[in-house]
Structure 1
Amino acid sequence: MSRYCSKCGKANKACICQWIQNLASNVELIILQHPNEQNRPLGTARILQLSLANSQVFVGENFSNHQQLNSLLNESDTVHYVLFPNDDSKLLAQEALPSCAKKVRVILIDGTWRKAYKIWQLSSNLHTLPSIHLPEGLKGQYLIRKAPSENSLSTVEAGYHMLSILEPERDFSPLLTAFEKMIQFQIDQMPKEVFEKNYRE
């Protein structure tokens, strides 16, 4: 008998499936995942993938010649964006979306900041797409993973905020609920002094 859930891929005792809800979204998601993130017990991209039927994950580091991704990017009836802050990125706002587009597809990069930046650097096919960033001031709740700043967001948090801005009429809060339950389970497994020393300083 496998020690891992066949659906979410996490250890059976840490399975997150009970907190996953199927959510409808008009915005499609493509998650470009660094290989280092693929089997992380606390990876959050899986929450998006399980919750949103119109999302998919591609694993790699250089997506320039990725056949599936390039095929999607060539769809003429779809407008693509990359959620990645850079010198040319624009603030994400619902009003910024073209009203004539039949479909909107957003690319998220899943990895530590350094790994995500490497994907961005290597994947030349992303550089021709309009890039967007989230509003300043959003604070991440990834309490048990070191982050470069308090406004660093996990992939699922970034996805939640992005979808909530683009589709304010929908409730995407179950994404954060699953994330918070996953984090709390891990905290509950730690001795209190370990959590306080390593994550509350």
Structure 2
Amino acid sequence: MNKIEIDINQRDFCYTCYRPSVSCMCEYINKIETKTKFIILMHPKEFKKTKNGTGQFTKNTLSNSELFIGIDFTNHTKINELLEDSSNDCYLLYPNETSLNLSKEKIPSEKNIVIFIIDSTWPCSKKMIKSSKNLQKLKMLSFDADKLSEFKIKKQPNEYCLSTIESTQYIIELLNKQNIENIAKEELSNMTKPFEKMVEYQLECLKRRKDPRYKAY
């Protein structure tokens, strides 16, 4: 696993959401308890640009979740323990021709469901899967998004692409419909609150920078 270094020389830092303290979004985190275990696999490049990343928000929101940073997870002890546990049914959120579409199909399992979600760009995600032989063996999941991403400060590669926290929220909504989860609608709708507030903050920063009266120090 790659060694990750955090540059906090210039500003105070929040070690929970890994954002500068001035833009910390932890007050908007609403903890959610799920039966499903979520594993967020974050590419090192994504970690370095956490000012816009939502993988950490996802991990901080879901009590039954873990986040690992790296590219090649082939020999990752914790991940392999989850994969080798016969009581688990593990899936990777990654659309392809053979993926199980949660919008149309139900997960056919009575075991503990573990869903791996890659937090990265599409090109980097492909590299992570290609490098991680254990991830290649996982059953794939997908879903049909009927809404556009609210990530207004970042251009998505396709209109159907959602951020990590939006995708995870969508998955939980579908698991609710399948009676695999039983998360209250209001509780689930608040899941993306830190993401929404982060987008608002970034948009306000952009607005200020365009204002001729604004002077950066």
1:56 aligns with 2:66: yes
The AA in structure 2 aligned to 1:155 is: T
Where has structure 1 moved over 6 Å in runs of 4 or more? Answer: none
Deviation string 1:29-70 (CA, Å, 9 cap, x unpaired) is 001110001132111011111111110011111111211111
Answer whether contact 2:42 2:68 (CA < 8 A) is retained. yes
Quote the offset at 1:190 in angstroms: 1.3
Deviation string 1:135-167 (CA, Å, 9 cap, x unpaired) is 144421111012112211111111110111112
- Which residue matches 2:206? 190
1:132 aligns with 2:129: no
The AA in structure 2 aligned to 1:141 is: E
Quote the offset at 1:13 in angstroms: 1.1
- Which residue matches 1:160? 169
The AA in structure 1 aligned to 2:96 is: N
- Which residue matches 2:83? 73
- Which residue matches 2:12? 3
What is the distance in 1 between the residues matched to 2:144 and 2:71?
A: 27
Structure label with greater radius of gyration: 2
- Which residue matches 1:29? 38
Quote the offset at 1:129 in angstroms: 1.6
- Which residue matches 1:147? 156
Stretches of structure 1 lacking an aligned partner (at least 5 in a row): 195-201
What is the distance in 2 between the residues matched to 1:148 and 1:49?
A: 24
Quote the offset at 1:10 in angstroms: 0.6
Deviation string 1:100-150 (CA, Å, 9 cap, x unpaired) is 22x111000010111111112221212222101111444211110121122
Q: CA RMSD in A?
A: 2.1
TM-score by length of 2: 0.83
> Aligned to 1:163, what secondary structure does the other structure show?
helix
The AA in structure 1 aligned to 2:63 is: A
Q: Percent identity?
A: 30
- Which residue matches 1:87? 97
More displaced 10-residue stretch of structure 1: 72-81 or 184-193: 184-193
Within the candidate set 131, 142, 154, 1:122 is matched to 131
> Aligned to 1:132, what secondary structure does the other structure show?
strand
Stretches of structure 2 lacking an aligned partner (at least 5 in a row): 1-7, 211-217
What is the distance in 2 between the residues matched to 1:141 and 1:120?
A: 27
Deviation string 1:83-115 (CA, Å, 9 cap, x unpaired) is 0012221211485223422x1110000101111
The AA in structure 1 aligned to 2:157 is: P
Answer whether contact 1:94 1:166 (CA < 8 A) is retained. no
The AA in structure 2 aligned to 1:31 is: I
TM-score by length of 1: 0.89
What is the distance in 1 between the residues matched to 2:34 and 2:104?
A: 14
